[in-house]
Structure 1
């Protein structure tokens, strides 16, 4: 007869309701994947701002960050919209106005 390894003396058990170490690691991996994807989109948006504004990467970062703050929209969402703008030529009015203002003041 086999007994449950968790019921053996000295075996560690997770408290009820607490995620296991594997579950915690899976959550962490998912968060890291999201961070990598967000970082890539932000880098692409910086590249678009660099070309549109003819500026340095640092200045483009500032413009993108300030556009995010000025519209109260998370940076990664602003970055996604800017990347889409680079492809389609269309940009939500609020973002377009704030980005244009920031680009003009950066020159």
Structure 2
């Protein structure tokens, strides 16, 4: 059915392209790798969001400040952001922070004046 009276609806036709068998294997491998990368990105994003939540709850800071703290700690400690996030989540569950991450948190929180009297992550 067409939205315009008297004009037939035009449906695009799907064009099937033939691909050599080896090309299919390469395309499949590329798509599987892309899928794996996207899954890692989603997992990393979830961990960062959870770590921001920990900082918001413990430090009483807005989420944007929580992300800024995580990012700066990551840069200062020379540790990937998702690794810092995982460490913060583990800290919230009772584990200790790795020393480089702990030291970076102390510097960042002291420098940013986000201190509200609660102890920094240890």
Please state which band the TM-score falls in when normalised by the shorter chain: 0.7 to 0.9
Q: Could you tell me which runs of 5 or more consecutive residues in structure 2 were left unpaired when the two chains were aligned.
A: 1-17, 115-122
2:61 is paired with a residue whose SS is: coil
Q: Could you tell me which runs of 5 or more consecutive residues in structure 1 were left unpaired when the two chains were aligned.
A: 1-10
- Does residue 72 (structure 1) correspond to residue 84 (structure 2)? The answer is no
Higher helix share: 1
Q: Is the 8 A contact 1:46 1:57 kept in 2?
A: yes
After the TM superposition, which of the residue ranges 86-95 and 34-43 deviates more from structure 2? 86-95
- Kindly report which structure 2 residues correspond to 1:1-107, keeping only aligned pairs within 5 A, or say none: 12-13=19-20, 20-106=26-112, 107=114
Structure 1, residues 1-32: CA drift from partner, whole Å, max 9, x if none? Answer: xxxxxxxxxx532568x952111111111110
The TM-score with structure 1 as length reference comes to 0.79
Structure showing greater radius of gyration is 2
Distance 2:111 2:57 in 1: 16
After the TM superposition, which parts of structure 1 deviate over 3 Å for at least 4 consecutive aligned residues? none
Q: How many residues align?
A: 97
Q: Is the 8 A contact 1:70 1:98 kept in 2?
A: yes
What is the root-mean-square deviation of aligned Cα atoms in Å?
Answer: 2.1
